[in-house]
Structure 1
Amino acid sequence: MVRGKTQLKRIENTTSRQATFSKRRKGLLKKASELSVLCDADVALIIFSPRGKLNQYASSSMEETIGRYKRHVKNTQDSTSPFVDQNAQLQPLKHEAQRMSKKIEQLETSKRKLLGEDLGKCSIRGLRKIERQLDRSISIIRARKTSLYRKLIEQLKEKERILVAENAMLREKLRLDQHQISNEDNAAVSIVETALSIGLPDQILNYTLFLQQ
């Protein structure tokens, strides 16, 4: 069975990354030594670990090899055209653009897998990893939804409290208005009854009838 090409990318696990660095560093130093011996080449190798530790190998003298490299670079730059210098200045930008392009491609691939697409090449381990990512995403979404529901319920309860207070104020105002109207009606009835109860004395009434005769 033909083994597929492994995609090189940064190892996320710190322990695995350190173990891989140590193993590959030893292999690289060994290859540099073999190249120097087999081909009689002047080899200089400089490696800085992720923690900043220096690892180096030189088939002769590191200082002489670096000086030779600097002289070679200077002579090369002096003999090239300005267009080459411009191209050299653009190289970091090109590398950054390539790196970002690969990053975007990785994100697009991850997005398609999370949507359930392009899963044919995924192993059981990869599918489990995607499943765990989806479970974490669902948990976060549900927690956010629950938080929004709670805020909405609190807002509705606050509106209910305000409406109940306003309703109580309106009832009290209506009761006071009805009481005032009732008192005014009672006062008016009392005045009418008082006016009706006041009449002329009998003597004055008889005298008035006598004069009319």
Structure 2
Amino acid sequence: MARGKVQMRRIENPVHRQVTFCKRRMSLLKKANELSVLCDADIGVMVFSPHGKICELATNGNMQGLIERYKGNNTKEQGESSKQNKPQIIQQEVLLLRQEINLLQKGLRYMYGANDMDHMNLHELQALESNLENWVHNTRSTKMQIMSREIEVLRNKEGILKATNDILQERIIQQSGILETGSNMVTPQFPFQRTMESGHYF
């Protein structure tokens, strides 16, 4: 009697799961070994058990050697693939740059008075409008930055002038105080003075 088809899903019973793992692991390693012998192929198989134990099979060498060969081959394939794709990428970039240059030339001719509007399609006009908006935005941003820097410089100059003015005001006040003190000094009176009329001293 033929055995029914086994459903591929996780075995819930841990004992049955462990037995099935051991049986199928041995079958897998046996098939890999047979394939290596029959076809003279280098095969590496690594199996980690549910408990974390590793079981490996490496034909015609060791597992580390096969891993190094895999890494080298994979890197080589990636390099060849990138070399094959590089010319295509360069061609796409050149095409995009040519389209952008053509659009900019048309836009410059239009801005300088040559009416090329009839020769520009809707997509080109939309791209030109977007570029003009970006240019205006960048121009305004640069202008605001320059104005902010100039305002900051003027504020610094204003602060320096105010400080200098305060120092000069203090010096003027000090000098005016010294002059007032000198003018208010009282002339000393001598005890013996002679009047012009009497000629007496007192």
TM-score by length of 2: 0.44
More helix by share: 1
TM-score by length of 1: 0.42
